Structure 1
Amino acid sequence: MYSRFNIEATVVYSIYQWCISNRYTPCILFMPSVNNNLPDRLVRLEELVINLSRKAVQKLTISNEALAFSSSFSGLTHNVKIWFVQLAAVYGLEVGNGVTMYSYPFARVKRATINRNTINSKTNFKVTFCINEEFETKP
């Protein structure tokens, strides 16, 4: 018997592995909500970019419905869960290449080109970049 993975989980995992293999910073663009267990100041934003690098998150898991990880924001560790229906894109920060998700409720990001500081598309929308803190490695 084998387990079946949905397409979103497969795409997110593939782009994440591609970023790691090419030494890019894997990032996700999504619409935050109170169900994500993020700090209040981030939940109020329309859209948010999170760094998924191994230095920025711990315990990253990708299931059929969501991705989950631990990350530090303003010195406090949060166990974050992001549902695939909230995802707009997963991409490599340095090159801006990746995949946009059609299940995202705001289809205006379909043809977006993502780069380090801005998102350019045919329609304007507000995006806030959040650099989550890197975990300290203890000897």
Structure 2
Amino acid sequence: MSAPASSKPYLIRAIFDWCVDNGFTPHVVVIVDTTTRVPNAYVKDGQIVLNIAPYATNGLTISNDDITCQARFGGVAHSLFVPISNVVAIYARENGQGMAFELGNAAGSGGIELDGSSEASPQQVELDSPAAGEDGDADDKPPTPPARGHLRVIK
């Protein structure tokens, strides 16, 4: 009998659907490595935060292995490819609610800290939301990723 499929892509799709159904803007925090295809000019400290709302992307697909879509950065269209293993969090921009994941085998980092501990994934978290009035569309300046010290575990 083979091992069951990872629950991570299913949880990402569930939080994405919850965000969209409630009128929130879903953002993913991604560790960028050689397998990730994103515009390097928007990568900061080896991470990028992507607005994956339906209005900010074209052809969005969240499969069990990766997230692919087209998005505009600074008015220029880019094809994005993000391995699911590189997604460390998905959250709603407006209220910071979402889920963080252990990084796993992706290169570049040993995982994200949740209140100073490396708990097993996934963890439901509440991320401090950006300041009111930030637009967050892919055409605009990229959103600033939430600081790791601001993640809170929700039980």
**Quick one: distance in 1 between partners of 2:16 and 2:86?**
17
RMSD (CA atoms): 2.4
TM-score by length of 2: 0.67
Match for 2:27: what amino acid?
C
In the alignment, does 2:138 pair up with 1:132?
yes
Maintained 8 Å contact 1:60/1:67: yes
How far residue 113 of structure 1 moved from its aligned partner, in angstroms, is 4.1
1:23 match: secondary structure: coil
Compare relative contact order (CA 8 Å, sep 6+) and give the higher one, 1 or 2.
1
Q: Tell me the CA shift for residue 43 of structure 1.
A: 4.2
Whole-Å separation in 2 of the counterparts to 1:78 and 1:36:
13
**SS of the counterpart of 1:36?**
coil
Change (3 A) 1:57 1:109: farther
The 8 Å contact of residues 66 and 84 in structure 1, kept in 2 or not, is answered as yes
Distance in 1 separating the partners of 2:130 and 2:110: 20
* Correspondence 1:40-119 to 2 at 5 A: 40-43=40-43, 45-104=45-104, 105-111=109-115, 113-117=126-130
* TM-score, normalising length: structure 1: 0.73
- Corresponding residue SS for 1:54: coil
Amino acid aligned to 2:25? T
Question: What runs of 5+ residues in structure 1 fail to find an aligned partner?
Answer: 119-129, 135-139
1:11 is displaced (CA, Å) by 0.5
Q: How far did residue 73 of structure 1 move?
A: 1.0
What is aligned with 2:33? 33
Count of equivalent residues: 120
Stretches (4+) displaced over 6 A: none
Q: Which amino acid aligns with 2:139?
A: E
Structure 2 residue identity aligned to 1:28? V
Q: Could you tell me how far apart the structure 2 residues matched to 1:63 and 1:52 are?
A: 14
Residues 42-63 of structure 1: per-residue CA shift (max 9 Å, x gap): 2464222111111111111011
Offset of residue 9 of structure 1: 1.2
Percent sequence identity over aligned pairs:
20
Deviation at 1:101, TM superposition (A): 0.9
Deviation at 1:85, TM superposition (A): 1.5
Superposition deviation, residue 74 in structure 1: 1.7
**How far is the alpha carbon of 1:116 from its aligned partner?**
2.5
Would you say the 8 A contact 1:94–1:115 is kept in 2? no
| Preserved contact between residue 32 and residue 42 of structure 1 (Cα < 8 Å) | no
- 8 Å CA contact 2:33–2:46 kept in 1: the answer is no
2:24 touches 2:93 (CA, 8 Å); kept in 1? Answer: yes
